[in-house]
Amino acid sequence: MTEPFDILISGGGMAGAMLAHQLLQQGSLKVAVVEQQADASPSKSSFDSRSIALSEGSIRLLNRWGLWPLLASCASPIKTIAVSDKGHFGKTYLQSSDYQLDALGQVIEVEHIGTVLHQKLQPYEAQGRLVWFRPDAISAITPSSEVQQIELKSGLSVSCRLLVIAEGGVSPSRELAGFTLQSDDYGQTALIANIGLQQPHQGKAFERFTPTGPLALLPLTGQRYSLVWTLAPERAAELMQCDDADFLAALQAEAGYRAGVFHKAGQRALYPLTLRRASEAARHRVVLLGNSLHNLHPIAGQGFNLALRDIYSLVLLVQRVQATQSMPAQLGDYAFSRAYQKLREPDMQQLILYTDALVRLFSNSSRLVALGRNLGLSGLNNCKALKSQLAHFAMGLTPLQQIEQQLKQPGSAVPVRQTEGA
């Protein structure tokens, strides 16, 4: 194939498919997606039964993109968040009504997002503006000044003006493109499952800090919770071997009864927890996105919300380039890549510092540290101004505003050049 694609996305999972959908709204861009799975249908691609918490900022983005009206009926609103430290006095509460909102966020199973994106992308395939290479993967990347030359494991050779790597935390193409990775193993494992309740949850979410790490219960549709339970690896392995009755008893003992009485457990899965972040967000004609760029601890449920802001930032930059006279040349060039780096770095670093500090603060057994953090929780609950700042950050509203403000600053985004090479 001699004609280069405008953008090639490596990874057709939730982040990659969401990006493809947004890019294809932008004029006449031609997009390709390389996906390891043979079938893009939700049941066979990288979408699964996991759930994610979408912040209020992410809901606003999905609304803007025309997707939320198709997803809202499958989601459960978070009206209250109760934060506590097991065995200590510190507690704080966030309520949507305090901020004149119907919900602080929404919890939705990933497969519903996959279904909607699958349906939305089909017409672009029929038009020839979206090309899938599947099952396939990148085997080699050869950069040049104008394009990235891509060799696929199937033997095909394609090129693109901009390569977007959205393969997830384990990303072979990230290494092929020359990015280095920093990793910090937390020595913790997340146990994920859906939990049935004997009574309605009324939109309440719980984040309980325990000696082994946070235990989060997020409201789902159908009188269920999505459980994310951080444990020592040995204890997580033990709980995977328990029958449902023993597992639910252990969970009830750890979570207490404020969230209700648990009576059913879905399929359990384990995820070792490691903080990963790439050395750079972008290079010449290649950018990283989602978990290929940053893989966070689930303590604040912010991973996919951060990925949505990656997508938003990249799409805004593409729109800005399309308004120039030299779109093909500028798309992915040094100025473009540098702009993406500058746009994502503050948001990413701020959230990494925030989640990493929470993990280390609430996984510390020191009595002095425990006293300090519980005084902090109690103080937060009594200080409306501080709590409001935290709520706006957690809802993803502040980061969205920062992205938009950055783009308005001179020199912070892709410069509009009058002539090529100026």
For 360-384, how does the pLDDT look when each residue is reduced to its tens digit (9 = 90+)?
665 555 555 555 555 555 555 556 6
CATH number of the domain enclosing 401: 3.50.50.60
Average pLDDT over residues 95-118: 91
Structural domain span for residue 325: 5-52+110-183+275-374+396-408
> What is the count of structural domains for the chain?
1
Which helix (H) or strand (E) segment is 396 a member of? none
Note the pLDDT of residue 350: 85
Q: Examine residue 139 and state whether it is found in any structural domain, yes or no.
A: yes
Count of other CB atoms within 10 angstroms of residue 64: 11
* Nearest-10 crossing angle of helices 334-362, 367-382: 110
Q: Examine residue 63 and state whether it is found in any structural domain, yes or no.
A: no
Query: For 185-218, how does the pLDDT look when each residue is reduced to its tens digit (9 = 90+)?
Result: 889 999 999 999 999 999 999 988 887 888 999 9
Note the pLDDT of residue 45: 41
E strands of 153-244, at which residues? Answer: 157-165, 181-197, 204-210, 213-220, 224-231
Buried residues in 327-358 as b, exposed as e (16+ CB within 10 A) = bebbbbbebbbbbbebbbeebbeebbebbbeb
User: What does the DSSP assignment read for 315-354?
Assistant: HHHHHHHHTSS-HHHHTTSHHHHHHHHHHHHHHHHHHHHH
Q: Examine residue 355 and state whether it is found in any structural domain, yes or no.
A: yes
Average pLDDT over residues 215-227: 93
Q: Examine residue 283 and state whether it is found in any structural domain, yes or no.
A: yes
Query: For 35-86, how does the pLDDT look when each residue is reduced to its tens digit (9 = 90+)?
Result: 998 775 554 444 446 889 999 999 999 999 999 999 999 999 999 988 877 6
Q: List the single range of 95-99, 118-122, 138-142, 341-345 with lowest mean pLDDT.
A: 95-99
Q: Examine residue 351 and state whether it is found in any structural domain, yes or no.
A: yes
Cis amide bond preceding 135, omega within 30: yes
What would you report as the CA-atom Rg of the chain, rounded to the nearest whole angstrom? 22
Query: For 2-42, how does the pLDDT look when each residue is reduced to its tens digit (9 = 90+)?
Result: 689 999 999 999 999 999 999 999 778 999 999 998 775 55
Q: Examine residue 350 and state whether it is found in any structural domain, yes or no.
A: yes
- What residues have CB less than 8 Å from 230, skipping those under 6 apart? 188, 189, 190, 191, 210, 212, 213, 214, 215, 273, 298, 299
* Nearest-10 crossing angle of helices 14-23, 110-127: 40
Whether the pLDDT of residue 317 is over 90: the answer is: yes
Q: Examine residue 17 and state whether it is found in any structural domain, yes or no.
A: yes
Average pLDDT over residues 351-363: 71
CA proximity to 163, closest of 135, 180, 132, 138: 138
Q: Examine residue 221 and state whether it is found in any structural domain, yes or no.
A: no
Global pTM value: 0.88
Note the pLDDT of residue 390: 67
Average pLDDT over residues 290-314: 89
Q: How does the average pLDDT of the chain come out, rounded?
A: 85
